[in-house]
Structure formats: structure tokens, C-alpha cells
Amino acid sequence: MKSVSVDFELNTTRDRSGTLNPQVIKKHQTHLTDKLEPKIIALFALGNSYQDIRNHIADIYDMRLSNGTINAITDKLIPELQAWRERNLEAIYPIVWLDAIHYKIKVNGRYATNATYTILGLNIEGKKELLGLYLSDQEGAHHWLSVLTDLNNRGLKDILIACVDGLKGFPEAIETIFPRTEIQRRIVHQIRNSVKYVASKNQRAFIADLKYVYKAATLNAAELALNDLEDKWGDKYPMVIKSWRTKWPTLSTYFK
């Protein structure tokens, strides 16, 4: 990769004994590129805008950089990012979390909300690994299918448990590419949806009883706790209990 050169005039401080040892720009250093580029890339990776980067560099080095210079430096990341996106994956991941995180992104001077499809895997050594990031203007099962296809093409052959939200068509998209994968619906989403239908005066007590269900040590203990929950709250909130009963096969997968 070609380096970016920056020309500037540096006035050095002199001392009679010659003991001054500058740290920002070393003695006899004629090129700043090697020291400057990692700092610019680090600032960019932390989410700083070009304006922020220019201000930081001006404060530290008293230098004025153009957007073109900064852009030429940050563009060096593109081949590395592409190599990361296309890298081979392990054949099996016991658990994979799939979710779309929504961000506001500035495009052509205007802000628009985009979905970043985020795939986090737990490998067979028990370590979490970011498998991929995919950008789209919206979240949908159809686009998830293309994401799953890409993961499969990169070497991922099987997922034991896929953790997903309640997006319609999502489990079917997973089954198309990974037919043996079991689905785990997000517990936190189910809890939030349930609480919305519980009167505020009863929410604390209801949540306390609900914890015995999803925090149980075994599947059998969880099902007994769900029976107790229905006995206590079923008359007041039948739709909430019905929702847990209906979705229980995909809410309880993690007990395996």
C-alpha cells in the first residue's frame, strides 16, 4: 500500500547541553507518516468524524490535514475489512445470536436509519466471535436469508441453537439454510411484551413470579413454575399466559 506523505515545517527547540529528547516527533525524524497514520486510523475506528480527527491532529502536532489526506489513510482499511468479511468460518457453532441493530447513518448529507445485521457466535472452545456485519436499509427475513447464505458459503455448516427475535419468517429462513438448527426466541423480548399487558400495580409481583420460569435450573422446574404462574395470574391476564404457552417450544430451547 502506498504511504501518504505530509510536508510541514518543524521548529525544534535547542538546549545548550543537548539533553532535550522530544517524544511526539523524535530527533532526526523526517517523516511523520508512520507515527501519524496509526493515530488517525485509531481515531477513525473509535467513531470520530474527519472534523474531529483534524482537530485532534491540530492539537497534538499543530498540523492542518485535509479530508483527502485523512480519506487516503482510512481507505487503507478497506482491503483488511474485506478480508475479514470474507474469512473462512468454523464448520459448527453451538450457539449463534442473530439480531439487527439500527443506526442513523449520514448519506449524501442526510441522515437515514439503517439496519446492521449482527451475527455473534459461541465457538466450540466457548469463546464468543463476531462472525459478520451486514448493512441494509431495513430488517427483513428475506435479507436474513442472504446473510445466512453468505455464512454458509464461508464454511458454516451447522448451528445447534440460533437465538433470534420475533421477526416473522426468521425461523423459516434459518431452516432453509440450516435445517437441523433449533430456534431460541429472545426471552427478554417476551418479558417486555408480557409486561405491557400487566397493570402497573401488579407488574412487580408478576415479574417476580415470572423469574421462576425463565431462571429455573431445569426444563421440568420451568414448566412447573409456568403452571404456578398460570394458577396465580391466568384469570387476570389470560392473553399473557397464552402467549407463553404458545411460544414455549422456542422459548425453552436454551434448557438443552
Q: Are 181 and 117 in contact (CB under 8 A)?
A: no
Residue type for 184, please? Q
- Per-domain residue ranges for the chain? 1-86, 88-184, 187-255
Q: Are 139 and 165 in contact (CB under 8 A)?
A: no
Checking if the pLDDT of 28 tops 60, the result is no
pLDDT digits (tens, 9 = 90+) for 177-205: 999 999 999 999 999 999 999 999 999 99
Q: What is the pLDDT of residue 24?
A: 57
pTM above 0.85, yes or no: no
User: In terms of pLDDT, which residue wins out, 235 or 169?
Assistant: 235
Q: What percent of the chain has pLDDT over 90?
A: 57
Banded model confidence at residue 1, pLDDT cuts 50, 70, 90: very low
Q: What is the pLDDT of residue 92?
A: 97
Q: What percent of the chain has pLDDT over 70?
A: 86
Banded model confidence at residue 45, pLDDT cuts 50, 70, 90: confident
Checking if the pLDDT of 23 tops 70, the result is no
* Beta bridge partners of residue 42, listed in sequence order: none
pLDDT digits (tens, 9 = 90+) for 106-165: 778 888 888 899 999 999 999 999 999 998 877 788 889 999 999 999 999 999 999 998
Q: What is the pLDDT of residue 108?
A: 82
Give the Cα separation of 195 and 233 in Å (integer).
12
Least confident of 11-15, 53-57, 64-68: 11-15
Give the Cα separation of 129 and 133 in Å (integer).
12
Give the Cα separation of 117 and 114 in Å (integer).
10
The class (CATH top level) of 88-184 is alpha beta
Give the residue ranges of DSSP H helices in the chain. 33-45, 50-61, 67-74, 77-85, 141-153, 170-177, 187-195, 200-214, 219-233, 238-251
Mean pLDDT of all residues in the chain? 88
